[in-house]
Structure 1
Amino acid sequence: MTVTTERNHLETSVFDELTRILARTDERVRMELIDGKLRSKVVPDGDHGRIIEWLLRICMQSRPELFLYPDQGLKVQAYRSGRARPDGSLAPSGAFVGQGEWADPDPVLMAVEVTSYDSDSDSDTDGRDRVEKPRAYAETAIPVYLLIDRDSCEVTVYSEPDGVRYESARTVPFGKTVDLPDPVGITLETEQLKDWVH
């Protein structure tokens, strides 16, 4: 779903009020604002949740001082005018204490997205997770973006944000080992991901 104003741009204050209203009526609705466009995120399925659980355990074992926060809202893009809700945000433990629904992204070392099976169309996932999110996270200077793509059965690690885009992107098929570069510094054995795709 995409909702925009006449100027094809939704103001952040209008978005914030809309999400407050929606949260009171349906807690399953997960909204984002990327490039001025209102987007709804698909409620994750069980396999999606299992992938986040798998990654959470790896992160806690490898870097116990960090935590992978599921669904923490972040202020993203230039001037923090966007709103994204990554499937996971890796940051120091306690990084978001005292912050509201949309937190400052500065402590985030890695944003994680796991593709969902959209009922509307694959183009929503393609545009959101493969195009819009890498750009938004790079503009926000999040050091690493991890995309676990269940459609292509691949993992892509984006790194070296230059303020506009990520200068490095490494893609490997499920089953291969992939290193998450500094400041994350974790190695993923991705064989298990094959069990959680349709």
Structure 2
Amino acid sequence: MPTDEETLLDYFLALETPLGFRAELIEGEIVVTRPTDGTHEHCFSRVLSQIMRRSAVDMDVSGYKGLEMPRGGRCPKNHVIPDATVAPSEISLFRGAAPWMPSDGVAMVVEVTSSNPERDRVAKRHCYARAGIPLCLLVDRGRAEITLFSDPSGDDYAGHNTAPAGKPLPLPAPFSFELETTDFL
């Protein structure tokens, strides 16, 4: 007989969302997110264009790629969709990947706050840290700041560096450049 956690996961995986909406399973809660607004997409675009042009090594970027991550909280596995998932091109991480892929090999995830900023600020960040994703970049529109979380340790990141919108934020290797945030917000 399936457990409540297995039933929740089965229900989640069978869920069909309306076009443009995203469904995630975060800490035992099914979350459906509506399409993003133009300011979200502006910030998203600015981050991605800099990663593609300025990184020290070639990077592959996937927008809204489903990541299946280790158990956290009450759920059997977290199924989280970052705004962007970034990996070195040399490993071809996204080629042939399933809709929900493991997070092994991911160099950084990017989140731009949207309809539920606290989920982006806390719950999703904890999922990424537990999965051992080295870097998590959060563009926090409500607080007008950009934070790079680093050094995953248990349920969170041990390091973080925050810059107000408009000021550069250094990204370490393998990116090795300062993210310009002048026109983010």
Letter of the 1:15 counterpart? F
Give distance in 1, aligned partners of 2:148 and 2:9.
29
- Say whether 1:82 aligns with 2:97: no
Give distance in 1, aligned partners of 2:128 and 2:175.
15
Letter of the 1:110 counterpart? M
Instruction: Kindly indicate whether the alpha-carbon contact (under 8 Å) linking 1:33 and 1:83 is maintained by their aligned counterparts in 2.
Output: yes
Q: 1:182 to 1:77 in 2, by over 3 A?
A: farther
Letter of the 2:130 counterpart? E
Q: Determine the structure 2 residue equivalent to 1:185.
A: 176
Q: Determine the structure 2 residue equivalent to 1:3.
A: none
- Say whether 1:55 aligns with 2:47: yes
Q: Determine the structure 2 residue equivalent to 1:121.
A: none
Candidates 88, 91, 100, aligned match of 1:92: 88
Give distance in 1, aligned partners of 2:109 and 2:32.
18
SS at match of 2:183: helix
SS at match of 2:60: strand
- Alignment TM-score, normalising by the size of structure 1: 0.81
Give distance in 2, aligned partners of 1:166 and 1:142.
10
> 1:80-132, CA deviations, whole angstroms, 9 ceiling, x for partnerless residues?
8110110011113331111221112112111101011x2xxxxx321x11110
State the 1:162 CA deviation. Answer: 1.3
Q: CA RMSD in A?
A: 2.2
Give the alignment of 1:37-52 within 5 angstroms: 37-52=29-44
Instruction: Kindly indicate whether the alpha-carbon contact (under 8 Å) linking 1:72 and 1:88 is maintained by their aligned counterparts in 2.
Output: yes
State the 1:10 CA deviation. Answer: 6.4
Runs of 5+ consecutive residues of structure 2 not aligned to the other structure: none
Q: Determine the structure 1 residue equivalent to 2:8.
A: 11
Candidates 29, 32, 37, aligned match of 2:24: 32
Letter of the 1:14 counterpart? Y
Give distance in 2, aligned partners of 1:92 and 1:28.
28
Instruction: Kindly indicate whether the alpha-carbon contact (under 8 Å) linking 1:75 and 1:105 is maintained by their aligned counterparts in 2.
Output: yes
Give distance in 2, aligned partners of 1:15 and 1:132.
18
- Alignment TM-score, normalising by the size of structure 2: 0.86
Candidates 43, 60, 67, aligned match of 1:67: 60
Runs of 5+ consecutive residues of structure 1 not aligned to the other structure: 1-6, 119-123
State the 1:35 CA deviation. Answer: 0.6
Q: Determine the structure 2 residue equivalent to 1:4.
A: none
Instruction: Kindly indicate whether the alpha-carbon contact (under 8 Å) linking 2:44 and 2:83 is maintained by their aligned counterparts in 1.
Output: yes
Query: Percent sequence identity over matched residues?
Result: 34
Instruction: Kindly indicate whether the alpha-carbon contact (under 8 Å) linking 1:76 and 1:82 is maintained by their aligned counterparts in 2.
Output: yes
> 1:39-81, CA deviations, whole angstroms, 9 ceiling, x for partnerless residues?
1123111221122221111111123621221101111233881
- The runs of at least 4 aligned residues of structure 1 exceeding 4 Å deviation read 7-10
Q: 1:181 to 1:8 in 2, by over 3 A?
A: same
Greater relative contact order (CA < 8 Å, ≥ 6 in sequence)? 2
